[in-house]
Amino acid sequence: MRLALGPVGYHWNNDQLLAFYNDIAEAPVDIVYLGETVCSKRRSLGWMQWLEIGRMLKDRGKEIVLSTLTVVEAESELSQIERVCSNGEFLVEANDAAAVHMLMENGLPFVAGASLNVYNERTLAQLRDLGLFRWIPPLEISGAALATMIRMLGSDHLETELFTLGRMPLAYSARCFTARAHGYTRDHCHFICGRYPSGMAVETQEGQPFLTLNGLQTQSARIVNLLPYWREAAHAGVGILRISPDASNTPALLHRARVALDRGNIPEVADLIGAPECDGYWLEQAGIITSSAPCV
């Protein structure tokens, strides 16, 4: 079972990003996704810096994938996606249909991000015919439904990467909710999301964790943890487990997960997460639910 590190979804500054990826260079992770996927205004790192990070990590034995924006509204954002898709050096994760089109036109293989919303094997097969070689299933698909999709597709040439650990991206919008919460507009946001390196927590009126605001992206308050189900996922056809970066403990999480998986054990990561967990979607229940008896 391979481990992947998803793209950093939060607005970290230049120093934070460079320090983070220097740590990741020493972490036992097989695949690293790089780039901005949430908001085109976030430019802590320039294009050449992202490429330099990718080359540095590739030299350390990592497979590098460049990720595209998820919400595309302007010509400038299309140009940004085109630059990623035509980089000529690294694989690309397409998070929007525009990226799929650009990659298809150039005959390039690609990864389908979870935001493409692939819910059945017919869509998966069509994307495979267009150049797809790896996909990340939507987060609300259950383990049973995923196993059925993989089985019905009947292909040994398509990699499945499961979003296994992290706050779930639930929705995207043209509006920046973090800015609005502070009385700003998106055009004059003051990059307020930079104050929240793991997103801005939102509670219900009863004080219960509800959501996490991350600029244009709305995330779950709870952290999905499907590591207890890794054997079930492997049996279904999953070959890669994705861990989504957080502002703290990500390298330690990767180390602990790698050691446990190599020993055939379930990684115990509650002390490193520091937030409530959930796994309901995997079990065909409400996503916010945490099971009391996970599969072992």
Name the token pair of 233: 């996922």
For residue 291, the model assigns a pLDDT of 83
Summarised one tens digit per residue, pLDDT across range 273-288 is 988 999 999 999 988 8
For residue 153, the model assigns a pLDDT of 84
Question: Above 80 in pLDDT, residue 292?
Answer: no
* Rounded Cα–Cα distance for residues 222 and 200 (Å): 13
For residue 156, the model assigns a pLDDT of 64
Summarised one tens digit per residue, pLDDT across range 225-239 is 999 999 999 999 999
Confidence band, pLDDT 50/70/90 cuts, at residue 296: very low
Residue type, 192: I
255 within 8 A of 28, measured Cβ to Cβ: yes
Which of 83-87, 160-164, 245-249 comes out lowest in average pLDDT? Answer: 245-249
For residue 293, the model assigns a pLDDT of 43
Task: Place domain 2-168+222-283 in its CATH homologous superfamily.
Answer: Aldolase class I (3.20.20.70)
* Radius of gyration from C-alpha coordinates of the chain: 18
Exposure on the CB side of residue 87, measured as CA atoms within 13 A: 26
Q: What are the residues whose beta carbons fall under 8 Å from the beta carbon of 279, sequence distance 6 or more?
A: 224, 225, 226, 228, 229, 289, 290, 291, 294
- Degrees (nearest 5) of the Cα angle 160, 166, 168? 80
220 within 8 A of 174, measured Cβ to Cβ: no
Neighbours of 201 (CB within 10 A): 14
Exposure on the CB side of residue 104, measured as CA atoms within 13 A: 14
Question: Above 50 in pLDDT, residue 31?
Answer: yes
Q: How far is CA 249 from CA 27, 97, 245, in A?
A: 11, 33, 9
For residue 155, the model assigns a pLDDT of 61
For residue 294, the model assigns a pLDDT of 44
Summarised one tens digit per residue, pLDDT across range 140-184 is 999 999 999 999 887 667 999 999 999 999 999 989 999 999 999
* Rounded Cα–Cα distance for residues 122 and 89 (Å): 30
Instruction: Give phi and psi for 61, each to the nearest 5.
Output: 90, 10
- Kindly report the average pLDDT of the chain as a whole number: 93
Summarised one tens digit per residue, pLDDT across range 181-213 is 999 988 889 899 999 999 999 998 898 889 999
* Rounded Cα–Cα distance for residues 226 and 232 (Å): 10
